[in-house]
Structure 1
Amino acid sequence: MTTTHWLFGDQLGPAFLTPDGGGPSRDARVVMIESRAVFRRRRFHRAKAHLVLSAMRHRAAELGDRVTYVRAETYREGLRQAVGEEPVTVHHPTSRAALAFVRSLEHVTVLPPRGFLVATEDFAAWARGRRELRMEAFYRDVRRDHDLLMEGGGPAGGTWNLDHGNREPPPRGAATLGADAPYRPREDAVDEEVRRDLDRWEREGAVSFVGRDGPRLFPADRREARAALRRFVRHRLAGFGAHEDAILADDGTMSHSLLSSSLNLGLLGPAECVEAAQAAYRAGEAPLNSVEGFVRQIAGWREYVWQLYWYFGEDYRTSNALRHTAALPDWWSELDADAVSARCLATVLRQVRDTGWTHHVPRLMVLGSHALQRGWDPAAVTDWFHRCFVDGYDWVMLPNVVGMSQYADGGRMTTKPYTSGGAYLSRMSDLCGPCPYRPDRRVGEEACPFTAGYWNFLHRHRGALGRNARMSRAVRGLDRLGDLPALLEQERRRGDGPP
């Protein structure tokens, strides 16, 4: 009997149709469902909606007569149209809500997850009995188990983590890193159809988006994704490491891979990405610090975030150790970069508005840091990141925002809040020069919103952060600020208006 296998919109690569290790049978028919309700329920970035729909429709075109592609209001309705009550298999979805839904359907069999290096049961065994679940320890075990950048039983170069060498500020006076341009796809008839459909949905009032939908910037099929990986490894990987944490106003991509959306759509697998980078190192085509930094992002951080999403449980979603409850202001929700005077925040918000993407440091140290300092509700911040980034999914953003960015879990994931004053941004970027605010000013018309915000944040949480070994010295610094009362009054008046 021929079975039917259901592909979600983030399960688009060949790994999700191979029978090895519990996959669908080789002759399985395929069903794909384009649910309007997904876009009706939440206000996604338009470029993200475009990418997901384009990728799904490209995959359906590749599968030809093998696929039944249904456009319906809901997944339940679409599945009923496609197969009725016939048995269906589906690989473990990537969100708790989707997993609960497919498990509630009597005729659906859930197969093991694909697209990651480590099985969830193996992570649970690794985590059992540990007081701390730190990424570094997990990453080293992944390296050992998958023989990544290993030499004679130890790490290549004798050091596991070369992060200390990957924190160089941008070259002084340079507007760009001078890296070769990243791969950019060419739109086709599928993209034209998607854009027409999105225009019609908006005209009909069926959905509402945020952000802009310019030419599609990220791969929508396997061929494009593989081309993007090849271009990164051959032309950009070598320069990736040293300036991995730097920011340049006129060079939003720098030497970053821009592969996260392809990985999270399932168009690329983590093994092929890290193995390609490792091969470049072995061939002498890329230095170890760049290759190790890239491998750590995928085999370390990405795997770690996926595992923590499932391991911490559903209650993690409501973590709010700092009791932040402020609503997101409209200028932020609307991606209104033009309303913002602070150059760092305006630049990054504009990148998100125009592309649905910015690299990990602006996400953490500009966007996330500002939200943390202002005391915004971490659940709302998580939802915003999920909706506004082309690579944002529930499993991606929940640990990254709740744990890493907003410290809402009180330290289960990181050892301290990741926020700073303007001095850090001044050192690691070229954003402060033309800005009307000065990074060394806490009070007054030229007071940097991040510098003032940092000290205000420390003051609000003096009790909790004073007990944190990595924050206690900074908290004690509050006692040396003679202008603290004026600073606090200034921040009270500023509120959540655009800085």
Structure 2
Amino acid sequence: MKPRWLFADQLGPHFLDSPDQPVLLVESKAVFRRRAFHRQKAHLVLSALRHRATDANTRLVRTETYAEALTEPVSVCHPTSRAARALVQRLPDVEMLPPRGFVTAPHDFVSWAEGRNHLRLEDFYRFARANHDVLMDGGEPTGGRWNYDADNREPPPRRMDVPEPPAIAEDDIDAEVRADLDRWERDDGIEFVGNDGPRRFPATRREALARLRHFVQHRLPAFGPYEDAMLAGDPWMAHSMLSPAINLGLLDPLEVIHRAEQAYRDGSAPLNSTEGFIRQILGWRDFVWHLYWYFEPEYRAANELRARRELPKWFAELDADAVGARCLSDVLKGVRDHGWVHHIPRLMVLGNYAMQRGWRPAAVADWFHRCFVDGYEWVMTANVVGMSQFADGGRMSTKPYAAGGAYVNRMSDYCKPCRYDPKVRTGDNACPYTAGYWSFLARHEDALRANHRMRRPLQGLHRLDDLAVLVEQEAARGSRAP
């Protein structure tokens, strides 16, 4: 049996043909020279690789490039980026197998997608539910509804009454990784962003399974109603925090889905929480994976709104202390200190602000890729370019996810103590999200006029008596931190 070359995001047993198959792991320093990754992301990836290398029949090669380590015939599962796939195709004696670590097969997605004018998550999700018999009762969705979004948009409670996820106990491998990263920074000129800190996410399958069990038992019941809410000082809330482990390949998404569905069938988790969680994995995760390959390679450079500003230094360097807007400061601090915040801060605080200011979408996507512990090119391309920045003109979403301070105020506890007022558009205490929202609409009115979901906001734009002042104010703000 050929050894199986596992990339660092393919570390689980479902990437092998048998438990005793020989494994080759490659730790390439060149990967960390090319981009300034978050320090905690680099730690997590290296820790996961080195922990996996302690398994039987496993060999880890530490080298500058992947090619230097490939000295014998191997097989490899389809990689998760175009660059990695091109590398595999160039190397002699490497057999590339179909992808693993996702639920819907590529040919099934293509069959579903072909001939459609628009590709929408909800349509794909219903197809995937029926095709994989997930939360189905015969031919009908469990509970009679496909989607429980209406039950999962509650504003935040004063505090989340859920237990903390199990702590990670670092070991000698983590200490070695931390020492190596210190040395790379000091001696090799390799740069990182963000703060170092204790490892918060699983680097082994055992840790990942423990997190999965704890989430399903203790946090899944509270997940649904508050999945779109934000609380200052509580970055985790009832979220699973499983995306880093799934994206490292430590968990098979199907086993995660089945554990959640079983909790509902056993009566230990409500349907709205279970459906909302499963939609994120069976629906959204698979959807953006397939879109990465289905759309043309040039998709990641899409820029339909012609946003050309570069990321300001305070944002690129995660300088949360330079920001006065409480929501943006707290979320940026979460990225700086943890390399993770949940999906609503990503979309409605970070992405929303970037789109309002016209930052270059490819640069925003690269920032998310580098700064999040669960960030990979396939994850961030459609998530950021398509959904967050609307740079594809609506190929995968129905409207820009632009919102003013009223949204942040409704879905968080950020606004009351903030120096800015979400109801004010101009002046010293104008909320940068409220002002930015109307300025964004004014700049892109022509491009958005044909979108029926933007009709009412654009009508509201022309009822503003201070629009000229607002646009001038936002132009003067430039790249300054709010």
Corresponding position of 1:23: none
Cα offset, 1:313, TM superposition = 2.1
Cα offset, 1:68, TM superposition = 2.1
* CA RMSD, 1 decimal: 1.0
| Alpha carbons 1:167, 1:246 under 8 Å: kept | yes
Corresponding position of 2:137: 151
Find the residue that maps to 1:70 and give its secondary structure.
strand
Corresponding position of 2:69: 78
Corresponding position of 1:317: 300
Structure 2 distance, partners of 1:285, 1:89, is 42
Corresponding position of 1:55: 48
| Alpha carbons 1:8, 1:33 under 8 Å: kept | yes
Cα offset, 1:3, TM superposition = 2.0
Deviations 1:60-80 (A, max 9, x none): 0123xx22211111111222x
Aligned amino acid, residue 30 of structure 2: A
Structure 1 distance, partners of 2:60, 2:188, is 24
Structure 2 distance, partners of 1:87, 1:61, is 22
Structure 2 distance, partners of 1:100, 1:299, is 27
Identity %: 62
Corresponding position of 2:9: 10
| Partner of residue 30 from structure 1, selected from 23, 27, 30 | 23
Cα offset, 1:17, TM superposition = 1.3
Cα offset, 1:178, TM superposition = 1.6
| Partner of residue 60 from structure 2, selected from 43, 51, 69 | 69
Find the residue that maps to 1:195 and give its secondary structure.
helix
Corresponding position of 1:307: 290
| Alpha carbons 1:3, 1:27 under 8 Å: kept | no
1:338 aligns with 2:331: no
Note the residue ranges of structure 1 that are not aligned, 5 or more in a row. 20-25
Structure 1 distance, partners of 2:463, 2:322, is 34
Cα offset, 1:441, TM superposition = 0.4
Structure 2 distance, partners of 1:68, 1:269, is 23
Cα offset, 1:106, TM superposition = 2.2
Moved over 2 A (4+): 26-29
Corresponding position of 2:214: 231
Aligned amino acid, residue 208 of structure 1: E
Q: Please give the TM-score of this superposition, normalised by the length of structure 1.
A: 0.95
Find the residue that maps to 2:54 and give its secondary structure.
helix
| Alpha carbons 1:55, 1:220 under 8 Å: kept | yes
Cα offset, 1:29, TM superposition = 2.6
1:46 aligns with 2:39: yes
Cα offset, 1:31, TM superposition = 1.3
Corresponding position of 1:111: 97
Corresponding position of 2:461: 478
Corresponding position of 2:416: 433
Structure 2 distance, partners of 1:4, 1:165, is 48
Structure 1 distance, partners of 2:220, 2:449, is 40
Cα offset, 1:419, TM superposition = 1.2
Cα offset, 1:460, TM superposition = 0.4
Aligned amino acid, residue 292 of structure 1: E
Deviations 1:291-344 (A, max 9, x none): 000010000101111111110120111110001110000000100000000000
- Count the aligned residue pairs: 482
Corresponding position of 2:184: 201
1:22-421 counterparts in 2 under 5 A?
A: 28-63=21-56, 66-79=57-70, 84=71, 86-171=72-157, 174=158, 176-421=159-404
Find the residue that maps to 1:110 and give its secondary structure.
strand
Note the residue ranges of structure 2 that are not aligned, 5 or more in a row. none
| Partner of residue 441 from structure 2, selected from 458, 462, 479 | 458
Deviations 1:190-246 (A, max 9, x none): 100000000010111431000012110000000000000000000000000001100
Cα offset, 1:27, TM superposition = 5.4
Find the residue that maps to 1:61 and give its secondary structure.
coil
Structure 2 distance, partners of 1:150, 1:121, is 23
Structure 2 distance, partners of 1:407, 1:260, is 23
Aligned amino acid, residue 47 of structure 1: Q
Structure 2 distance, partners of 1:495, 1:140, is 43
Structure 2 distance, partners of 1:493, 1:134, is 37
Structure 2 distance, partners of 1:78, 1:40, is 18
Structure 2 distance, partners of 1:106, 1:313, is 26
Find the residue that maps to 2:88 and give its secondary structure.
helix
Structure 2 distance, partners of 1:75, 1:433, is 51
Structure 1 distance, partners of 2:238, 2:17, is 33
| Alpha carbons 1:115, 1:270 under 8 Å: kept | yes
Q: Please give the TM-score of this superposition, normalised by the length of structure 2.
A: 0.99
